[in-house]
Structure formats: C-alpha cells, structure tokens
Amino acid sequence: MLDRRNLLAIGATSALAATLPFPASGEAQAHQIALWPNGTPEPVPQGLSQTYTERSSNPKQSDRALKGVTAPWLEAITPTRPNGAAIIAIPGGGYRHMAWDKEGLDIARWFAAQGVSAFALAYRLPHDGWAGGPDTPLADAQRAVRIVRGNAAKWGIDPNRIAVVGFSAGGHLCANLAANFDHACYPAQDALDKLSARPDLAAPIYPAIMIDSLGQTLPAGESLFGKSIDADRTKKHSPHLNARVDSPPHFLLHAENDPLVGPEHSLALRAALIAQKGTVETHLHAQGGHGFGIRNTKGLPVEGWPERLMAFGKTTGWIK
C-alpha cells in the first residue's frame, strides 16, 4: 500500500510522467519506456551492443533472442479498455539472453487483451559482463515497478494492483524481486526511487529458485549469473531463503517433466512462503516441459495457465 511519503513522491514525478508516451486509452499499441533516461547506474561493459537473434523458422511467428541490452526498457502494451491492473512480463533465457517474443511480448499482448496494462521488461544480463552480477537485473526489475507505480494515475492504473510474471531465469528475477524489493542495489536516480518496488502479485513460471543446485545444468565454474558468486550473494539471491511475512501473493506453475529446471524449485519456494504464512497457489502439471510460454501449450495440461492466473488475481484483489 502507498503511504503519504509515497504519494508525495508520485506528485514529484508528474513532470517525468508527462514525457512518457503511454496513452491511457485507445487501440492497443507498443511504446518503449526507458528505465534509466540518464544512463544506467553502473558503467556499460566495454564493447557491449544489443542484438536480436531470430530462432524461428516460421516467417509468421518471430522467436527472437535478445541480448546485450545496454539501455533497459519497458515495452508497454496499452489495452483498449484498461481495468486498472498492470502486469510486467520478465522473459527468461538463463540470464544469457531473453526469449523476447515468446516470454515477453506474447505475454504482454495476452494480458493487454484482457484489459490489463501490460509491459515486457528488457533487462540487463549478468552474462553480458555487468559488474553488479545478480544485483544488475534486480535493479532493473525494481526500477520497472517504480516507473509503473509512479505513473499509475496518468496511465489509468491502480498503484496497488501491479503484478509481475517471469519465466525460467525471468521467473527467478520475478521471485527475487518479490523477496528483495527493498534491497538497495542501485543509487537513487530521482523521485521515483522513493516509491516501493514491491509487486502486488508475483507469478514465477517454471522458475529457477535454488540457484546453488543448478550445477548439473551449468558449465563448470559458473553460476546462474555467469561467473561463480560467493556464498553470501548466493544466499541473498535465492528466493526460497529470503521469503518474508510481507511477501506478495504468489502464483506458481511448473511441469513435472521439466528437463532443465525441475518442479522442486517451485516447491521449495512454496514451502518457504507457506512457512511465512504467505498466500500462494501452486499448479503442477504432468506435461509441459520447459519454456512453453503461452504459444507451445495447446493440448497440454499447462494450457490455459494465464486464465488461472487471472482467476487467482481476482481472489487477491489484483483483478477486480
């Protein structure tokens, strides 16, 4: 919930809000919103440049891998009739790239069609050499929530109805944000950074949670974030070890036959949230594999999961 100090901060961002191209109504369109209009909080790694790699053989369905982001942004999809809720989609890709279409734009467009003001987050990747390591994508996720919250009134959004959904490594970032929304991982840039970065609902989908147990799927000497990190940072960025009493409601979804990140990851997070008496809904399905998003679900038990997330949102107040 927003207190008086946060409301004052929102007022202070009105000038910034006026410069952001996010219409409150009209036909669904995409607009890019810079997270760091004055530059990222840490230096850009030398030689880094943004690239898209097309992985689809279907000319009618793009499946781009995005990497090398140096100027993170939110891709905003405006619903024709906003219902007051917002969602930020965080694509996965092992923190090496982002499945930008399949787990970013696809997801944002689906929710925008339901009236939810939707955003896809293009964030900085630890594997691209950012000095902050796991703090770098977390900083971008925090900033994304603060931008949406700080401009909620202008964009027809309830500032207390902002959800985050993430996939695989993006699911880790989603859960990490829910656990570490107040972790100071970047210096304040402007009045937006006085706002809470706590999402009002978190939906990690086939997430990597127990990052110290991924050794069998990673090259020797690497962590999920690239180079190995010390035990303290591993613990700090392990969502199941940082569940808290003020965690937002969580919606968890995993396939039992996931060959890359097994359902024990979601179950570890579920157990930690329940121990803190948190609100959590968990869906385990016999089939689905990994990386299905919403386009590779037809005929599988995981089909229709966004509708189940919307239904869960109604029980928690995210959808009204």
In the chain, domain spans: 4-316
Burial class (CB in 10 A: 0-12, 13-18, 19+), 303: middle
Contact 225/219 with Cβ under 8 angstroms? Answer: no
pLDDT on residue 217: 67
Contacts of 274 (CB under 8 A, 6+ apart): 280
pLDDT at 119 over 80: yes
Residue with tokens 């906003």: 82
Residue 226 backbone class (left: φ over 0; alpha: ψ -120 to 50; beta: rest): left
pLDDT on residue 12: 37
* Residue 249 to residue 163: CA distance in whole angstroms: 10
pLDDT at 100 over 50: yes
The band of 19, judged by pLDDT with boundaries at 50, 70 and 90, is very low
The fold of the 4-316 domain, in CATH, is Rossmann fold (3.40.50)
The band of 230, judged by pLDDT with boundaries at 50, 70 and 90, is confident
Apex CA 286: angle with CA 279 and CA 207, to 5°? 50
pLDDT on residue 13: 36
Residue with tokens 């199941």: 240
CA torsion, points 102, 142, 188, 47, in degrees to nearest 10? Answer: -30
pLDDT on residue 249: 98
Nearest C-alpha neighbor of 94 from the set 263, 291, 268: 291
pLDDT in tens, 125-152: 999 999 999 999 999 999 999 999 999 9
* Residue 240 to residue 167: CA distance in whole angstroms: 16
The band of 24, judged by pLDDT with boundaries at 50, 70 and 90, is very low
Mean pLDDT of 177-197: 97
Apex CA 295: angle with CA 252 and CA 305, to 5°? 30
pLDDT in tens, 253-272: 999 999 999 999 999 999 99
pLDDT at 165 over 60: yes
Contact 116/60 with Cβ under 8 angstroms? Answer: no
pTM above 0.85, yes or no: yes
Contact 164/118 with Cβ under 8 angstroms? Answer: no
Instruction: Tell me which of 23-32, 134-143, 186-195, 284-293 is least confident.
Output: 23-32
The average confidence (pLDDT) of the chain is 90
pLDDT at 23 over 70: no
Contact 291/255 with Cβ under 8 angstroms? Answer: no
Instruction: List for the chain the helix, strand, coil content (%; round to 5).
Output: 30, 20, 50
pLDDT on residue 213: 77
Q: What backbone phi and psi angles, to 5 degrees, belong to 224?
A: -55, -25
pLDDT on residue 216: 60
Mean pLDDT of 302-311: 98
Q: What percent of the chain has pLDDT over 90?
A: 83
pLDDT at 172 over 50: yes
Q: One-letter amino acid identity for 9?
A: A
Mean pLDDT of 80-102: 97
**What DSSP string describes 121-158?**
EE---GGGT-TTTTHHHHHHHHHHHHHHHHTHHHHT--
Contact 94/125 with Cβ under 8 angstroms? Answer: no
Contact 255/224 with Cβ under 8 angstroms? Answer: no
Give the number of other CB atoms < 10 A from CB of residue 64: 19
pLDDT on residue 29: 65
Check residues 230 and 92 and name the one with the higher pLDDT.
92
